[in-house]
């Protein structure tokens, strides 16, 4: 019987794959480097290889695999499985679904990585049993996914959920997308690195982050932020206060507009935060949401960590193959 699925989490540096049974148990995993500088067809060969390895390690028969789900960087078309544009891979119009199906011979379903992470939390993590969920993942950038009535919502041009680009400070700092004042330009890890650079290099402020990064403030890892918070570093606390405020402003707007039952916060930056900062986010959201609109809304942490991608991809494979 075809009872198992394979979930694939495709990132800019590594590809994770896992065989997952009907209850969400992970039976076998594999990890291979993406090596995105190589040709797309070679990268897709490696994805196929990661899938075969995970099946081998799980000990299940390949005939028991019902479908493959894959979360990939987007924008992409979930209906055709074509990755339209993925800057961190250098991909344009890559037929990921077709190419994988040709190589592996198992029905394959593709969706945006953040959508897949949100679906994972909805099916196996913090959002189990909750029908209307917004997932917000804060890392190098800020991504979002929307589940409405238990299903991923894609929108007219399949780009719904771009929460990182809602404006929280008109005329604010420039964003990678070209406009100013996006949430991502104020509250992502990249935005925080810029705030640290400005405070330390231009304003000569002292911070433990200088030592923790050996003075290289271009990229600051979430682990460094967590250490600086635990050390009560004044500058880090100040920057986090601002970041949580802007996350709260964004969440307030989302709650006003959509009134979901739950908002799930995940990603490296959120994992670095302790509960005080989550309280700050809730307080800021309350300030910017209309009276009573937040009453029934839970704002919670993601529960699956690094597994949200593979588990979400497994859920995607199951939902889409059952819907056929």
List of residues contacting Zn ion (CB under 5 A)? 165, 175, 177, 182
Task: Output 165 or 245, the one with its CB closest to Zn ion.
Answer: 165
Measured CA to CA in angstroms, residue 309 lies from 15, 29, 259, 275 at distances of: 10, 13, 25, 24
* Gap between the Cα atoms of 249 and 240, Å rounded: 14
Residue 117 — φ and ψ, nearest 5°? Answer: -60, -40
* Largest CA-CA distance found in the chain, in angstroms, rounded: 65
Q: How far is the CB of 163 from Zn ion (least distance, A)?
A: 10
* Gap between the Cα atoms of 29 and 76, Å rounded: 25
* Gap between the Cα atoms of 210 and 201, Å rounded: 10
Task: Output 87 or 305, the one with its CB closest to Zn ion.
Answer: 87
* Gap between the Cα atoms of 156 and 137, Å rounded: 22
Task: Output 253 or 321, the one with its CB closest to Zn ion.
Answer: 253
* Gap between the Cα atoms of 124 and 288, Å rounded: 30
Task: Output 177 or 283, the one with its CB closest to Zn ion.
Answer: 177
Task: Output 181 or 252, the one with its CB closest to Zn ion.
Answer: 181
Task: Output 86 or 182, the one with its CB closest to Zn ion.
Answer: 182
Inter-residue contact 134 to 163 (CB < 8 Å):
yes
Q: Among 115, 129, 116, 51, which Cα is nearest to 298's?
A: 129
Q: Among 6, 1, 4, which Cα is nearest to 314's?
A: 6
Q: How far is the CB of 127 from Zn ion (least distance, A)?
A: 26
Task: Output 163 or 311, the one with its CB closest to Zn ion.
Answer: 163
Q: How far is the CB of 117 from Zn ion (least distance, A)?
A: 20
Q: Which tokens in the block code for residue 117?
A: 């992470």
Q: Is 112 helix (H, G, I), strand (E, B) or coil?
A: strand
Residue 259 — φ and ψ, nearest 5°? Answer: 45, 55
Q: How far is the CB of 141 from Zn ion (least distance, A)?
A: 9
């Amino acid at each position: 019987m075809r009872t198992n699925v394979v979930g694939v989490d495709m990132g800019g540096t590594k590809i994770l794959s896992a065989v997952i049974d009907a209850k969400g148990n992970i039976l076998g995993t594999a990890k291979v480097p993406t090596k995105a500088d190589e040709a797309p067809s070679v990268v897709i060969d490696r994805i196929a290889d990661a899938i075969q390895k995970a099946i081998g390690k799980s000990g299940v028969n390949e005939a028991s695999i019902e479908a493959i789900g894959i979360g990939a960087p987007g924008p992409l078309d979930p209906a055709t499985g074509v990755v339209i544009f993925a800057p961190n891979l250098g991909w344009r119009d890559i037929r990921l679904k077709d190419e994988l199906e040709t190589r592996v011979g198992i029905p394959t379903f593709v969706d945006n990585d953040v959508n897949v992470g949100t679906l994972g939390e909805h099916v196996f993590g913090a959002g189990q049993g909750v029908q209307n969920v917004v997932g917000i993942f804060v890392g190098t950038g800020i991504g979002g996914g929307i589940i409405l009535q238990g299903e991923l919502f894609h929108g007219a041009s399949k780009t719904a959920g771009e929460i990182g680009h809602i404006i929280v400070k008109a005329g604010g700092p420039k964003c990678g997308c070209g406009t100013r004042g996006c949430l991502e330009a104020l509250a992502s890890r990249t935005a925080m690195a810029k705030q640290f650079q400005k405070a330390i290099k231009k304003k000569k402020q002292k911070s433990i982050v200088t030592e923790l990064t050996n003075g290289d403030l271009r990229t600051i890892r979430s682990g460094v932020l967590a250490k600086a918070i635990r050390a009560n570093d004044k500058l880090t606390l100040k920057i986090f206060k601002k970041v949580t405020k802007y996350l709260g402003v964004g969440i307030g707007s989302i709650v006003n507009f959509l009134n979901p039952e739950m908002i799930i916060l995940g990603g490296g930056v959120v994992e670095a935060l302790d509960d005080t900062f989550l309280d700050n986010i809730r307080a800021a959201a309350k300030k910017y949401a209309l009276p009573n609109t937040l009453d029934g809304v839970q704002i919670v942490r993601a529960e699956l960590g690094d597994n949200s991608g593979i588990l979400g991809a497994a859920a995607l494979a199951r939902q889409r193959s059952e819907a056929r």
